[in-house]
Amino acid sequence: MSYRMMFGTLLFFCAVCLCWGSRVLVVSPVPSRSHQQLTDSIVKTLLDAGHEVTYINRLTEMKRKRLKVITVRPEDGQELDVNDLIERHHTSHKTLELGVVLAKQVIKNEKVRELLQDNQETFDTVIAEWYYTGLLAPLAAVFECPLIWYTACDASWMTSQLMLEQTSPVYSTDLLSSEAALPPYGFRERVMRLARQVYLSGWITYMIHYVESPAYYELYQSVLQHRGLSPSQYETVLYNASLLLINSDPEIGQILPLPPNAKYVGGHHIELPSKTLPQNLQDLLDNAKHGAILFSTDSKVLPWYVKRTLLHVFSQFDQITMWETGEQLTDIPDNVYVFKQLPRLRVLNHNNTVLLITNGGTTSLLEAAYFGVPVIGIPLYQDQFVTMDLAHARRRGIKVKFSEHIAQKIKDSVNKILSNNSYHKNAKKASIYLQSTLEPQRQILHWIELVIKTGGAPQLRSPVLLQLTTLQMLNIDVLLLLFMFVWFLSKVLKVIQVHWRADVLDNKKND
């Protein structure tokens, strides 16, 4: 073959490869390192597969070829305030309001507005992180491409509703609840869950019609008209997603019936094979004859006297404790090692790591389960309570309530887990399951590319659901008809009873 033919063949294959690469818009509205880590992973997976990505985010510092980054910095330059999240958790609708605030901050950003108003910009799909609001859904309408939702938390009836799927409180709970348990639920639990679902559904309906819908026209109407498009009804745009990617797994979360276009991809941020540890950490863990405890929580919310007590508690264990915190600690015991930041996945992957103490979010539990490490969880807000309750019920961890006496509770929980081998056995079983399933990175790539190639993966969606109203989906009209029929029947029976009694009395008089 001549050099000219070889060069021509090379150009042909390059052209084909370029055609295969798609343009993807990824949006992460949450100013949180844990959330950013997850969406960074999705972006990396897409880039490694040859796709071109525009990434709207709050904190990332990624730099790669074929990557355009628009960073919408938080107004104060900080991540989400933990104390604010804790306060919002006690009034669940406040979290719904926070989702709208964060989405607005992203869409109002000057560089994002420039992107939306550039008629030359096109995308093959939009991947938007759902954080208790649908205000990012219209981005797909702007670029006339399929929408893919991504949630950093477990599946719930809230996320199922995005795909027009109704999930019963008989076997599920919302992620803003302060407690959960493995079904089946008793009568009292079912009543409480139904009441919460009705309460939050009312708030969601209010937010959609009176907060998000006006914001939709405010933020997107001019952009759509600039592109020659007419704004559709907000609910039509909101419920038009092609796919939902869930950063969880039934092994650690709720076990719910999901529609065909909702897929579990939990653990997609875990890179394999795991990288080697820095030498100082490798030596530290190798020499931990009795094992190592990884303590990685939001230490900012711990009062100083609790931290002092925790240091004293950790000093009593035979195991070493690796405490990850950005704060300065003094009078540190010999078996406690403090680090500003740790490669948590690599530490968990070490054979001598025997326990993880964390706040119990979905990502932390996925990591611990993947490497077969039991967990002590100190939930503070949002999904942490539910995920830790499920881990506790499956005997892979212990839930510890945050209080002034937390140090003693942690001590008791550590002793219980280390002295009871069942926790380690159950954690190892979860690890075997998670490590034997198809790599979530490959699943993410497969489903995203399927949506792109098929123009929205209509095969995974029921066209009937798109035509049904909420009234029809919940059978409210049928239930009302049945109620009216029963009411009418009761009246008829009452009339018959009155006439029958009258006839009986008349017969007695005649006798």
Per residue, what are the HEC states of 478-510? HHHHHHHHHHHHHHHHHHHHHHHHHHHHHHHHH
Same domain, 83 and 24: yes
Predicted local distance difference test score (pLDDT) of residue 76: 46
CB 147 within 8 A of CB 125: yes
Does the residue 192 lie in any domain?
yes
Does the residue 409 lie in any domain?
yes
Helix H or strand E segment including 71: strand 67-71
Predicted local distance difference test score (pLDDT) of residue 189: 83
Structure tokens at 5: 């033919």
Does the residue 3 lie in any domain?
no
Report the greatest alpha carbon distance in the chain: 123
Same domain, 445 and 429: no
Q: What number of other Cβ atoms are within 10 A of residue 259's Cβ? A: 16
Closest CA to 43 of 58, 70, 25: 25
Does the residue 458 lie in any domain?
yes
CB 152 within 8 A of CB 363: yes
Per residue, what are the HEC states of 407-471? HHHHHHHHHHHHHCHHHHHHHHHHHHHHHHCCCHHHHHHHHHHHHHHHCCCHHHCCHHHHHCCHH
Predicted local distance difference test score (pLDDT) of residue 347: 94
Same domain, 230 and 258: yes
Structure tokens at 351: 């054979």
Does the residue 134 lie in any domain?
yes
Same domain, 409 and 503: no
The residues near 264 (Cβ < 8 Å, ≥ 6 apart) are 155, 246, 248, 249, 250, 258, 440
Overall number of domains in the chain: 3
Does the residue 142 lie in any domain?
yes
Predicted local distance difference test score (pLDDT) of residue 89: 57
Does the residue 11 lie in any domain?
no
Same domain, 426 and 481: no
Specify the 3-state DSSP secondary structure of 53.
Answer: strand
Closest CA to 132 of 190, 74, 211: 211
Question: Across the strands, what pairs with 244?
Answer: 149, 262
Q: Please give the full DSSP string across 92-124, using - where no structure is assigned.
A: THHHHHHHHHHHHHHHHSHHHHHHHH-TT---S
Low-confidence ranges of the chain (pLDDT < 70): 1-20, 75-90, 273, 299, 463-474, 503-511
- Domain holding 401: CATH number? 3.40.50.2000
Helices 110-117 and 93-108 pack at an angle, to 10 degrees, of 70
Predicted local distance difference test score (pLDDT) of residue 439: 87
Predicted local distance difference test score (pLDDT) of residue 276: 85
Question: Where is the domain boundary, 385, 417, 434?
Answer: 434
| Residues of the domain holding 65 | 20-270+440-467
Same domain, 192 and 314: no
Q: Say how far apart CA 353 and CA 361 lie, in whole Å.
A: 19
Predicted local distance difference test score (pLDDT) of residue 10: 44
Q: Say how far apart CA 418 and CA 206 lie, in whole Å.
A: 48
Per residue, what are the HEC states of 219-280? HHHHHHHHCCCCCCCHHHHHCCCCEEEECCCCCCCCCCCCCCCEEECCCCCCCCCCCCCCHH
Same domain, 447 and 494: no
Burial class (CB in 10 A: 0-12, 13-18, 19+), 316: exposed
- Return the amino acid letter for 70: I
Q: Say how far apart CA 452 and CA 81 lie, in whole Å.
A: 37
Question: How would you list the strands of the sheet with 353-358, edge to edge?
Answer: 336-339, 320-324, 292-296, 353-358, 375-377, 397-399
Same domain, 391 and 487: no
Question: Across the strands, what pairs with 320?
Answer: 292
Specify the 3-state DSSP secondary structure of 323.
Answer: strand
Structure tokens at 465: 């659901």
Same domain, 27 and 160: yes
Half-sphere exposure of 416 (CA within 13 A, CB side): 16
pLDDT per residue as tens digits for the range 431-468 = 998 888 878 999 999 999 999 999 998 888 876 666 66
Predicted local distance difference test score (pLDDT) of residue 11: 41
Same domain, 358 and 373: yes
Same domain, 393 and 453: no
Q: Say how far apart CA 362 and CA 247 lie, in whole Å.
A: 8
Does the residue 41 lie in any domain?
yes
Same domain, 406 and 259: no
Predicted local distance difference test score (pLDDT) of residue 5: 46
